[in-house]
A and B are shown apart, each in its own frame.
Chain A
Amino acid sequence: MTKRRTALLGFAAVFAIIAGACGDSSEPSGQGGATSTTLGVAGGTVGTTRPVIDADTTAILRYGSMQANSLDPVLQKTPCEITQMRLLYDTLFYYDSSGKLQPMLATEYKLDDPLNLTVKLRTGVKFQDGTAFNAEAVKFVIDRALTDATSNIKGTLYMLDSVTAVDETTVRFKMKSAAGGPLLAQLADRPGLMYSPTALKAAASPTDFFAKNPVGSGMYKITGEYRPIESMSVRSWDGYWDTTTPRLGGIDMTEVKVDALVNAIKSPQFDLVPIDAASQVAGLKDATDVVVKIDPSIQLRTFLINATEKPFDDVKVRQAMAYGIDRKAVTDVMTEGLVGPRIQWYPKGFVGYDAALDAIYPYDVAKAKQLLTEAGFPNGFTFNAVIGDTSTSYIQQNELIQAQLKKIGVTMNITFVPTAQTVPTFYPTDATKKSGVVAGAWGANLTFDPDAFFRPRYLAEGNTNVGRDELAGLRDVLTQAAAAADDATRTKLYAQASKLTLDSLLEGFPLFSVPAIQAYKNYVGGITVAETRCPATLRGKYITKGKVAVKS
Chain B
Amino acid sequence: MGQLILRRFLQAIPLIFLVSVAAFSLTWLLPGDPAYAIAGIEATPEEAAAVRARLNLDDPAYERYGRWLGNAVQGDFGKSVLTDRPVAAELKRRLPITASIALGAFIMAVIIGALIGVLQGAFAGRIPDKVLLFFVSLGLSTPQFWIATLLITYFGVKWQLFPVLGYVSFADSPAQWLKFAFLPMLTLAIFTWSEVARQLRTGLVGVLDQDYVRAARARGISNTRIIGRHALKNAALPTITIIGVRLGFLLAGSVIVESIFGIHGLGDYALTAIQGRDVPIIQAVVVISAGVVLTVGVLVDIAYAFLNPKVRVR
Interface residues, chain A, with chain B CB atoms under 8 Å away: 69-70, 75-79, 149, 152-156, 207, 211, 227-231, 254-257, 259-260, 263-264, 266-269, 389-390, 417-421, 423-425, 427-432, 456, 463-464
| Inter-subunit contact A463/B85 (CB<8 Å) | no
- B residues 234-262 with Cβ under 8 Å of A? 259-260, 262
Do B32 and A421 touch (CB < 8 A)?
yes
Partner of B42, one of A69, A255, A259, A463: A463
Chain A residue at minimal CB-CB distance from B261: A260
User: Which residues in A have their C-beta under 8 angstroms from that of B275?
Assistant: 389-390, 418-420
How many Å lie between the Cα of A389 and that of B277 in the bound state?
12
Select the residue from B37, B153, B165 with max chain A CB neighbours within 10 A.
B165
Closest beta carbon of chain B to A280's beta carbon, Å: 13
Is B157 a contact of A263 with CB atoms below 8 Å? yes
Give the residue of A79, A153, A228, A256 whose beta carbon is less than 8 angstroms from that of B165: A256
Closest to A270 in B: B165
Residues of A with C-beta under 8 A to B157: 263, 266-267
A-B contact pairs, 15 of them (CB 8 A): A76-B42, A77-B40, A229-B272, A254-B166, A257-B262, A263-B157, A268-B160, A269-B163, A390-B275, A419-B275, A424-B37, A429-B49, A431-B45, A432-B45, A463-B44
Of B39, B165, B260, B276, the residue contacting A269 (CB under 8 A) is B165
Do A156 and B82 have beta carbons less than 8 Å apart? no
Which chain A residue lies CB-closest to B90? Answer: A227
- The 5 A-B residue pairs whose C-beta atoms are closest, nearest first, are A420-B276, A424-B36, A421-B32, A228-B83, A429-B48
Is there contact, CB below 8 Å, between B42 and A429?
no
The minimal Cβ–Cβ distance linking A393 to chain B, given in whole angstroms, is 16
B35 within 8 A of A: yes
Q: Are B165 and A152 in contact (CB under 8 A)?
A: no
The residues of A that contact B272 with a CB separation of less than 8 Å are 229
Interface positions, chain B 255-311, Cβ under 8 Å from A, are 259-260, 262, 264, 272, 275-277
How far is it, in angstroms, between the C-alpha of A227 and the C-alpha of B43 when the chains are bound? 23
Please give the number of chain B residues whose Cβ is less than 8 angstroms from any Cβ of chain A in the complex: 39
Interface residues of B (CB under 8 A from A): 31-33, 35-45, 47-50, 82-85, 152-153, 156-157, 160, 163-166, 259-260, 262, 264, 272, 275-277
> What chain B residues lie within 8 Å of A231 (beta carbons)?
264
Further pairs besides A76-B40, A431-B45: 14, Cβ < 8 Å? A69-B83, A152-B42, A153-B42, A156-B42, A229-B272, A260-B165, A263-B156, A269-B164, A418-B32, A420-B82, A421-B31, A421-B32, A424-B33, A429-B43
Q: Which of B37, B43, B48 is in CB contact (< 8 Å) with A420?
A: B37
A228–B85 CA distance with the chains assembled, in angstroms: 9
Known: A264-B165, A268-B160, A463-B42. A257 touches B32 (CB 8 A): no
Give the complex CA separation of A255 and B84 in angstroms: 18
**C-alpha gap A69/B264 in the complex (Å):** 15
Chain B residue nearest in CB terms to A261: B165
Q: Which partner residue on chain A sits nearest B145 by CB separation?
A: A259
Chain A residues near B32: list those with CB within 8 A: 417-418, 420-421, 424-425
Please name all residues of chain A whose beta carbon is closer than 8 Å to the beta carbon of B153 when the two chains form the complex.
Answer: 263
CB-CB under 8 A from A211, the residues of chain B are 84-85
Most chain-B Cβ atoms within 10 A of its Cβ — which of A227, A267, A420, A431?
A: A420
A259–B149 alpha-carbon span in the complex (Å): 10
A257-B260, A463-B42 are contacts. A421–B277 as well, Cβ < 8 Å?
yes
CB distance from A519 to the nearest CB of B (A): 13
